[in-house]
Structure 1
Amino acid sequence: MKHILLVSQYFYPETFRVNDMACEWVKRGYKVTVLTGIPNYPMGKFYDGYDKKHRTREIWNGVNIIRIPLIARGNSSHKFMNAVGMAANYFSFVKSGKKWVRSKEAADLHADIVFTFEVSPMTQAMIGVWYGKRYNVPVFLYVQDLWPENVETVTGIHNKVIIGPIDKMVDKIYRETDTIFTTSPSFVNAIVNRKKPVDKSKVHYWPQYAEDFYKPMEPQIIVGIDDNDGYFKIAFTGNIGTAQGLDVLPKAAKLLKDEKVKFVIVGDGRYQVEFERQIEVLGVAEMFIMIPRVPAERVPEILSVCDAGFISFNKTPLWESTIPAKLQSYMACGKVIIASASGETKRIIEEAKCGICTEIGNEKALAKGIREIISYNKADMGKNARIYFEEHFNKKILMDEIDKYFF
């Protein structure tokens, strides 16, 4: 039985797909130990019951969890303070990870594989590299966010004094990693074609899947949502952040005030206060149903009373190269996709014939697209979404594929 050390700064009870991957590996007979931080994403404060002294070691669904200290992200209305809080969060986890790698607990772990699940920050991948080098085990990396591109896009910082060292760190991580997986074909190209090229033979496209509970279902009873009110309901689920480009929605809603359309927003995040302010300023509050973050298992229930799922980005080359995890979730539930996006997301929607993709940030094009979708045969689009999901994002097929790399 192989023992996987899974390095991920975020893990249960934070809601990331890595949770399901860990549980699936346990079901497949692997021993799984997760090295993670104290849960604080996305709101920036430690979850109730978790801190540097409590619940630092626990077992969840057969997964052994080791939580090492870090500084919570914080949540400030000031952009600079947010950046400082995030940097402290990132580097405190790496500092604790470096110390842990040298500990007796790490030495006694005897993992056969170290696998880093890399959503930002990329810095966490250094822990996997250090462990692999110290204990002579293969190092695997699953790249969800490209660095330093992500840092430049999110912070707007392009200063070589700051970006240069990050770039060198990324070069080191890629050089000392045995196998690299990425979530989109565009990421493969970006990694292989860096200034310091990465051997193409060790970089592989391995898309995200959706958990088994994401599936089509009959409309459920959801408090606050009337399934029989005749409105066309468009759902957005997940983090409400600046990268999502959600400011296009209130603007499009204003153009659709005479239509029977409602937007169901499920989640929270740093941009939520400003997003809700825009809704009020534009006078479209009656068109929005705001639902606080729910366990991922409940998302399909909410989608069951909605007609479409919404995806949007800010306009940057990085986001155009990204395939957002919610795309697979919507498709698994057989939902029509409405997107204000481009690049990989647009490619998949067009290949699947499961919805529309309008120009990023263009509220007029989005409003027009929504009107068109309402008049289309939405049942066929939903079926197309599910068919494409089964053919390209099937969990069993993808997990079978990754198994081959471990032996």
Structure 2
Amino acid sequence: MRILVESQFFYPEQMRINDICVALAASGHIVTVVTSIPNYPKGKFFSGYGFFHKRRETYQGVSIIHLPVIPRGKGFIGLTLNYISFVVSGWFFAHLTREKADVVFMNMSSPMTQSLVGVWFAKRRKIPSAIYILDLWPESFEVITGISSPMVIKPIGRMVDGIYRRTDKVLTSSRSFIEAIAERGVPSEKLLFWPQYAEEFYQPLERDPLDQTLLAHVSRLTFTFTGNIGLAQGLDILIPVALLLKEQGIPVRFVLVGDGSDKERLLDLVVTNNLEDWFVFIERQPAEKIPALLSASDAGLVILKKSAIFSKTIPAKVQSYLACGVPILVSADGEVQQVVSEAKAGFVTDAEDAQGLFNIIVSFSSLSKPERLEMGKQAKLYSDRMYSKEILIDQLENVLHSLVKDTTHV
């Protein structure tokens, strides 16, 4: 098949869609990705890229087209202009390009506006399309921005409904999304649960002495969080938890790997509360380095703010932690609790419950080393059983092929 993948974020940005496209290309399909000039998460174009530089390239058999955008910068205005400029560039691409394809696959992490590009292209070429929903709109938009005015939310809702209506198949990264999307009038036969998988480099590793020196402490358990440090994650819950642990004389260390809009505020809170010895901040790392960092940790952290929308979400780090065979401590509501409990891979508590997070850290710290290792083994077994890359890529290929086949028969 000739597959056109539309995703505002792609290589050299670190996204799981990169691996999906490489896997499809390795299976013999002709894969072309339409994306933006890379600028996430720093907010400025990556070195060597620009309006007149490296607009087309190839990555492991995947052809990439970088559309011109306004870099996202660091504020709300820059972010908004970045999203709008991708849609504008995408409109011209969809209506003027000579690119051809048999099917369109849209990777929908926020914002959902990006999916308009794939919808327009599919309509012009009269080909089928599928969309992969990683984030529910307009619910996520409302929670993250705090904007709830019907004058804003209703038009966004109509846009979302139009995208679903014009898309032939809707894949979701969590089971909870299916019910939410069905409530918008999307037929059940159009919906399919297709969970994320972890790339092959996410594997259990022996503790690296260098990383152990960096992260571990002779008398402290190490709990590691990886990924975006933003308001949605609500990592400031770790401040009262650390204060409770300090008061009770239970020494741990929280390692936060990544960047984001809330990182500076969190750093200030750590200093203000004299908790520097309880936290380690590490800059965003290439995804390939995360397994080594996790191997130097006693458990991975999954933390989200309390929200109806976040309770339906399974953060991608869950699959990464499971594949690396590390125990998981969850401070979040809903489906992610179900996954970790079903896997017997750790302890869970509700979102924004500092006392609850303190309690499960105490419970974990009371376990013997063999008990912690058994949790890690259960995590890996669950990953292999539920999130097999080979099985999931085959399933995606079958979905896309069936869409093309149905169109051909028509």
Q: Quick check: TM above 0.5?
A: yes
> 1:296: how far off?
0.1
Number of aligned residue pairs: 395
CA distance in 1, matches of 2:195, 2:269: 34
Q: Which residue of 2 aligns with 1:43?
A: 42
Q: Which residue of 1 aligns with 2:237?
A: 248
Structure 1 residue corresponding to 2:220, chosen from 226, 231, 252: 231
> 1:129: how far off?
0.8
Structure 1 residue corresponding to 2:189, chosen from 201, 208, 213: 201
> 1:27: how far off?
0.9
> 1:309: how far off?
0.3
Q: Say which SS state the counterpart of residue 102 (structure 1) adopts.
A: helix
For 1:2-401, list aligned pairs within 5 A.
Answer: 2-76=1-75, 82=76, 84-103=77-96, 106-107=97-98, 109-194=99-184, 197-223=185-211, 225=214, 227=216, 229-257=218-246, 258-376=249-367, 377-401=371-395
CA distance in 2, matches of 1:402, 1:63: 17
Deviations 1:58-117 (A, max 9, x none): 1111111100011111113xxxxx2x22221111101100001122xx32x221111110
Q: Structure 1 residues 164 and 333 mapped into 2: Cα distance closer, same or farther (>3 Å)?
A: same
Q: Say which SS state the counterpart of residue 311 (structure 1) adopts.
A: strand
Structure 2: gaps spanning 5 or more residues: 402-410
Q: Say which SS state the counterpart of residue 89 (structure 1) adopts.
A: helix
> 1:287: how far off?
1.1
CA distance in 1, matches of 2:381, 2:301: 19
CA distance in 1, matches of 2:203, 2:310: 26
Following TM superposition, the consecutive aligned residue runs of length 4 or more in structure 1 with deviations greater than 2 angstroms are 221-224
Identity of aligned pairs, percent? Answer: 43
Q: Say which SS state the counterpart of residue 152 (structure 2) adopts.
A: helix
Q: Say which SS state the counterpart of residue 218 (structure 1) adopts.
A: coil
- Tell me the C-alpha RMSD between the 2 structures: 1.2
Letter in 1 for 2:241: A
Are the equivalent residues in 2 in contact too, given 1:113–1:137 (CA < 8 A)? yes
Deviations 1:188-207 (A, max 9, x none): 1000111xx01110111100
> 1:228: how far off?
6.5
Letter in 2 for 1:89: N
Are the equivalent residues in 2 in contact too, given 1:118–1:124 (CA < 8 A)? yes
Q: Say which SS state the counterpart of residue 225 (structure 1) adopts.
A: helix
Letter in 1 for 2:330: A
CA distance in 1, matches of 2:345, 2:232: 24
Are the equivalent residues in 2 in contact too, given 1:233–1:261 (CA < 8 A)? yes
Deviations 1:296-340 (A, max 9, x none): 000001101101000111111000000100000000001110111
CA distance in 2, matches of 1:112, 1:131: 11
Are the equivalent residues in 1 in contact too, given 2:130–2:400 (CA < 8 A)? no
Structure 1: gaps spanning 5 or more residues: 77-81
Are the equivalent residues in 1 in contact too, given 2:215–2:280 (CA < 8 A)? no
CA distance in 2, matches of 1:187, 1:17: 19
Are the equivalent residues in 1 in contact too, given 2:224–2:254 (CA < 8 A)? yes
CA distance in 2, matches of 1:6, 1:222: 39
| TM-score for the superposition, normalised by structure 2 | 0.94
Are the equivalent residues in 2 in contact too, given 1:42–1:270 (CA < 8 A)? no
> 1:250: how far off?
2.0
Are the equivalent residues in 1 in contact too, given 2:6–2:105 (CA < 8 A)? yes
CA distance in 2, matches of 1:288, 1:16: 26
Q: Structure 1 residues 240 and 228 mapped into 2: Cα distance closer, same or farther (>3 Å)?
A: closer
Are the equivalent residues in 2 in contact too, given 1:222–1:302 (CA < 8 A)? no
Deviations 1:354-385 (A, max 9, x none): 11111211222211210111122111111111
